[in-house]
Amino acid sequence: MTHRPELHVTPGTGVLRAPAAALFDGTIWHVFHQFQPRTTEGSRWAHQYSDGSPFSFEECDDVLAPEGDELEIRAGSVTATDNEVNLYFTSVTETGRSIHLAEVPDIAATVENVNDDPTALDPHVRRVGEILGDINGGRWFRSPCVVPDWRDHTDRDCGHSGWIMLAVRGHRDAPEVVVCTSPDGVHWSLLGPLELVGDTGLQGERMVAPRIMRLHDEVKDKVCDVLLITLERDGIDASGYLIGSLVGTQFRVDKPFRRIDHGHDFTRPRNTNFVSRSNNIAAHYRDAYLFGLMNGVGRLDDAYQHESYLAEGWANCLSLPRRVTLQDGILYQTPARGLISAIEESDHALMLTSIFEVPPGDAITVELTDSCGQVAATITHYGDRLELDRSMNTYHQGDEVAVAPLGEGDTDTITVIADGSTVEVFADGGQVAMASRVYFNGQCEEFHLHHTPGVTVLHTNVIAPTMSGFYHLDDVDEGIIR
């Protein structure tokens, strides 16, 4: 049995360091990630694609690797105009970091043929050069997030025009997020440091990996800017978002920082760009799709000590893609369409969904058991909070329980997806998400559902490989669900 998940993006060998960017052309999903093939080599950009649903990725030729005096190629952003794609990446040398651009004139051609040599680079990729280096007293520019066709706050309901970039500059111990603009995506001007105005809920933590997108708030009926950031707290990443509006270099906060995922292992989320989207503004901002790195430590992590690397020579994976909507200032996250079919066509993946009512003082627990019949993790819904516990697992002995607060709702729900060494949980319609790496002895074999007497279970389904439909388990008290 393998620790490798079937439905997640993983490296064939080596270490997946960070998601770089994702792109959807209407049919094919393209995911780029920062990848270190072996300890003696610097990171490069790998490319994988999935035709149709985003759950069956195939490897393509790598698109970028260190050249000349470069030590590493680190994460960045991808944009598209028609079939032409721009790759914005961080170039690392002994003397600093800078943001560079490469072009792919025909993204479709990159999936047609794959070289037998794993070190070969895709011949369809052409480097343009540095686009943001040491300017205006700023140094070490990195981690670009580029959004094409961006209008300012006064025109947000009319669509997009112009380009915007969020990036990080300065030493890694004192990073500073900055805002840049461009008329064409190639020539950039630095506007200045990003200033957060209002109640941010932050306490001076270091902000890295900025991303920005726009969504239509379904409850408030207005278009809002969503600022995704990762905080480095004592060597542990905490990723989340603020809701507001970007005006020049000011982000005017309407809703303070909120964790985007409360599990043990989700960080540095990347939004998916589209080759083309609807000209209808309501449709354009209706939703977004996110991937994150399933690693809770971040840049200080030693991936070579991961169980998957020690046993199988690979480390880290991306989360399942999440469809994200904005409702009353809260991001709701649910798995992307096509997951049920992907699980049915897989070898070992499992998913449980349940609808229930949990009165105060009661709880319902899902146990995930491995091939030896041992409990590897539990997820417990208390009505006002959700807990994911893997501390009983010999691979995760002593780990803290991951806890997420839950808001009030008419009905309590939970979805649990187990795929290889990954567990992802979505609760109360996507109000809360939790992603954790869980190493099983063998695989996740079964779900056991337990609850206290006051809980009413309204409906439960389990999706498993080769199933022709749903199992319907009503009035579940406790026992095995398979």
Q: What is the pLDDT of residue 98?
A: 95
Q: Report how many helices (DSSP H) and strands (DSSP E) the chain contains, helices first.
A: 3, 33
Over residues 352-377, the pLDDT tens digits come to 999 999 999 999 999 999 999 999 99
Report the distance separating Cα 162 and Cα 183, nearest Å.
Answer: 5
Q: Could you give the residue ranges of the DSSP H alpha helices within 58-131?
A: none
Short-list 272, 249, 295, 236, CA closest to 421? 295
Is the pLDDT confidence value at 480 over 50? no
Of the pLDDT bands very low, low, confident and very high (cuts 50, 70, 90), residue 475 is: very low
Is the pLDDT confidence value at 256 over 90? yes
Report the distance separating Cα 46 and Cα 19, nearest Å.
Answer: 10
Q: What is the secondary structure of 196-214 as a DSSP string?
A: EES-----SPEEEEEEEEE
Report the distance separating Cα 105 and Cα 81, nearest Å.
Answer: 10
Is the pLDDT confidence value at 167 over 50? yes
φ and ψ at 475, to 5 degrees?
A: 55, 40
- Say if residues 443 and 423 touch (Cβ distance below 8 Å): no
Task: Tell how strand 250-259 and strand 195-197 pair up.
Answer: parallel
Over residues 185-203, the pLDDT tens digits come to 999 999 999 999 999 999 8
Short-list 413, 424, 416, 426, CA closest to 455? 413
Which tokens in the block code for residue 272? Answer: 């998916």
Of the pLDDT bands very low, low, confident and very high (cuts 50, 70, 90), residue 137 is: low
Q: What is the pLDDT of residue 280?
A: 65
Q: What is the mean pLDDT of residues 32-42?
A: 94
Short-list 193, 196, 139, CA closest to 166? 193
3-state secondary structure of 309: helix
Is the pLDDT confidence value at 235 over 90? no
Q: What is the secondary structure of 161-192 as a DSSP string?
A: -SEEEEEEES-TTS-EEEEEEESSSSS-EEEE
Of the pLDDT bands very low, low, confident and very high (cuts 50, 70, 90), residue 478 is: very low
Is the pLDDT confidence value at 18 over 60? yes
Is the pLDDT confidence value at 94 over 50? yes
Place of tokens 């706050």: 153
Q: What is the pLDDT of residue 150?
A: 80
Whole-number mean pLDDT of the chain? 91
Q: What is the pLDDT of residue 9?
A: 98
Which tokens in the block code for residue 225? Answer: 């800017």
Half-sphere CA count of 443, side-chain side, radius 13 A: 16
φ and ψ at 213, to 5 degrees?
A: -150, 170
Q: What is the secondary structure of 261-290 as a DSSP string?
A: --SSS-EEEEEEEES---S-HHHHTS-EEE
SS3 content of the chain, % helix, strand, coil (to 5): 5, 50, 45
Which tokens in the block code for residue 385? Answer: 């909070």
| Dihedral sign from CA coordinates of 130, 132, 133, 139 | negative
Over residues 221-230, the pLDDT tens digits come to 999 999 999 9
Cα 339 to the chain's mean position, in Å?
A: 16
Over residues 383-434, the pLDDT tens digits come to 999 999 999 999 999 999 999 999 877 679 999 999 999 999 999 999 999 9
Place of tokens 């651009």: 101
Over residues 280-336, the pLDDT tens digits come to 666 789 999 999 999 988 777 899 999 999 999 999 999 999 999 999 999 999 999
Of the pLDDT bands very low, low, confident and very high (cuts 50, 70, 90), residue 151 is: low
What domains sit in the chain, N to C, each tagged with a CATH number?
Answer: 14-322 (2.115.10.20), 338-481 (2.60.120.560)
Is the pLDDT confidence value at 76 over 80? yes
